[in-house]
Each structure stands twice: as structure tokens, then as C-alpha cells.
Amino acid sequence: MCNVCNKGKVVYFRAYSGERLCSRCFTKTFEKRVAKTIAKYDMLRYNDRIAVAVSGGKDSLALLRVLAKIEAKFPESSMVAITVDEGISVYRDEAIKNAEDFISKMGNVEHVKVSFKELFGFTLDDVVRDGAVDRAGIKPCTVCGILRRRALDIAARQVGASVIATAHTLDDVVQTYLMNMFRGDIDKQPFGIRMELEGFVPRVAPFKLTPESEVVMYAYLHNVPFQSYTCPYARTSMRDMIRNFLTEYEENYPGTLYTALTSFEKLIKPSNVSLQKCEVCGVPTSRRICRACEILKHLNVREVPIQ
């Protein structure tokens, strides 16, 4: 029997708290934690126009579902799902179809799609296939990550969003903190916390206190589609090594991820790097030329649009 309602059939064992939960109680406590995370870090305001980054993966669709419920309580707010199509055939096509199907079932959610092709003039497949990525000595994942970020910023601005919400989970955030630490990069701002800086749309991560395993469960219980293809450009990375280590550690010592996150956030001392404007596109950056422009220059394609 469920520990909370003493009635429902148990579908989830929350190892770090020892609770056995039915579907209803799991969903309730899951959504409550997201709302608490938003309040704790002051992520959203009553009159925000929220751009939800929806890749079409299960995490992003789960986030969209939760945020739609929360946002509905605030009459002056609005929400728009943004999908960036980087042009990876089969893999991204499936994700976009999943996103479209799920969003159309939700009803009443605005969905905006932008593509690398229309913004930058090429698909990721194009620049991998013609050898431009290899010649530039950059990994496809780096190109993809940096340009996706830029594409999302451009789209968020186009739709007048005041904030971008991403589906990074507790696991993702702890992985990032560890990777930053191993690189000697601990002067970064805490992850997924609203920062109002001129020229930036702030980014928040409402799942940052929610373990990935619970997002998977939530997605499963609420008919969020799962992808069957994996990205053809994914290679074993440092992040995978760290993910495997953390997953095993969390299994043996439940609650570790959360403790690690709070410890890291006590240690992090953000330095106030002064930002200048990118010489090419004008966005605020700590470098002379921003990473997006640098990559586009290496790939020998036309300049990145600013807005």
C-alpha cells in the first residue's frame, strides 16, 4: 500500500526517503517539488512569458506538462514551447514528431519551431557529412550544443519570452558541477538560477532538484513518448563516465545527488567576469568573439544572426 494515502497500489519506491508511492501520490509529490524548486530559487514571476525548451525528449515533454499545470494558475503569464531542429535525420525527426503529437494532445500550447537550416544556413548533418566539422577540429556535439543554445535564445527573443525553462535534472546539474570542478572551472554561476543580465534571456531549470529517475517515472505514468533512436553523433564522453559513476553511487547511497548539489552550491564562488559585446554579433560574452560566432567562422558559413 502507498505510504501517503494508505490505499493506492505502489508504483514507485523513493529510495532516499523510504516512501512507497501510488501513481497519484507520486505525481502529486513530484509536481509539488517542482513548484517548490521554482519558489526556492525565485525562478518564475507571475507575469512571465515562459519559453520552454522542448527537444522532444521525455524530460522536456515532462517539464512542459508540469509547467503547463503551474502556469495555468497565473492569469498574467503565458507559455510557449520552443523546439530547435538542428537537422539530424531520423533522430531529431522522431523527437519533433513526439513533441508535436504530445503538444497537440495537451491542446492550447503554442509551439514554435526553429531550425539550424533557416537560422544558420545548414543542418548538422550537412556540416558533418561535408567534412566541415572535422576540418574545423570541433566535435559535432560541441557545434550542436553551442548553436542550439544560440538558436533557443534567438527564438525566445522572437516570441518575446522573459525567461527560458530547460529540463535539466538534478543528475544533469551535479554532472555539470563535477565536470566544471575537474576542469578547474568553479567560478561559474549556480546552474539554472535566474540571472537578469542585459542582452540575455535568463534560463531556469525547474527540475534541478528532481532526480532523473523520477522524471522517467513521471513521463511513463503520463504517456510522454520515449525516443527509440539515439543521436548518431553521440560518443562516449566525460559526461557519460561521470553519469555512470554518479548513478552507481546514488543507487548504493540514496540521497547523494542532492547532498552533492547543496555542497557544490555552498562552494561555488561566482566571479564577476565583466562581459563585453561580441565583435561579430554583439551578444554579451566574456570573450572577444562569442563561441557561436567562432564556430560559424570555423565552419566557414555566414555570420550568426543576432536576434
DSSP, collapsed to helix, strand or coil, labels residue 234 as coil
What is the chain's length? 307
Place of cell 553519469: 243
By CB under 5 A, the residues from 8 to 47 that bind Zn ion are: 8, 22, 25
- Closer residue to Zn ion (CB): 96 or 281: 281
Task: For residue 80, state whether it binds Zn ion (rule: CB under 5 A).
Answer: no
d(CA 162, CA 90): 32
| Nine cell digits for residue 240 | 557519460
Site track for Zn ion across 106-135, x = CB under 5 A: ------------------------------
What is the size of the binding site for Zn ion (CB under 5 A)? 11
Q: Is 52 helix (H, G, I), strand (E, B) or coil?
A: strand
* Nearer residue to Zn ion within complex by CB, 12 or 264: 12
Read off the C-alpha cell for 137. Answer: 577540429
Q: Shortest distance, CB of residue 60 to Zn ion, whole angstroms?
A: 26
CA distance 20 to 10: 6
Out of 146, 209, 293, 299, the only residue in the binding site for Zn ion (CB under 5 A) is 293
Q: Decide if 294 contacts 305 (C-beta within 8 A).
A: no
192: left (phi over 0), alpha (psi -120 to 50) or beta: left
Closest CB 217 distance from Zn ion, rounded Å: 14
Question: Where do we find the cell 514571476?
Answer: 45
SS3 102: helix
Residues 6+ apart with CB under 8 A from 257: 170, 171, 174, 211, 246, 250
Minimum distance from residue 13 beta carbon to Zn ion (Å): 13
Does residue 5 bind Zn ion (CB under 5 A)?
Answer: yes
- Of 20 and 203, the one with the shorter C-beta distance to Zn ion is 20
Distance CA 256, CA 14 (A): 13
- Please choose, out of 97-105, 149-157, 247-255, 288-296, the segment that lies near Zn ion by the rule CB under 5 A: 288-296
Under the criterion CB under 5 A, does residue 284 sit at the interface with Zn ion?
Answer: no
**Contact call for residue 290 and Zn ion (CB under 5 A):** yes
Cell reading at 103: 503538444
Assess 2 for contact with Zn ion (CB under 5 A).
Answer: yes
Does 54 bind Zn ion (CB under 5 A)? Our answer is no
Q: Find cell 507575469 and name the residue.
A: 47
Contacts (CB under 5 A) with Zn ion, residues 244-283: 278, 280-281
Q: Which is nearer to Zn ion, 5 or 238 (by Cβ)?
A: 5
Name the minimum Å distance from CB 21 to Zn ion.
6
Of 9 and 266, nearer to Zn ion (C-beta) is 9
Main-chain dihedrals φ then ψ at residue 100, nearest 5 degrees = -60, -45
Q: Measured from the CB atom, is 4 or 193 closer to Zn ion?
A: 4
Is residue 296 close enough to count as binding Zn ion by CB under 5 A? no
Residue ranges binding Zn ion (CB under 5 A): 2, 4-5, 8, 22, 25, 278, 280-281, 290, 293
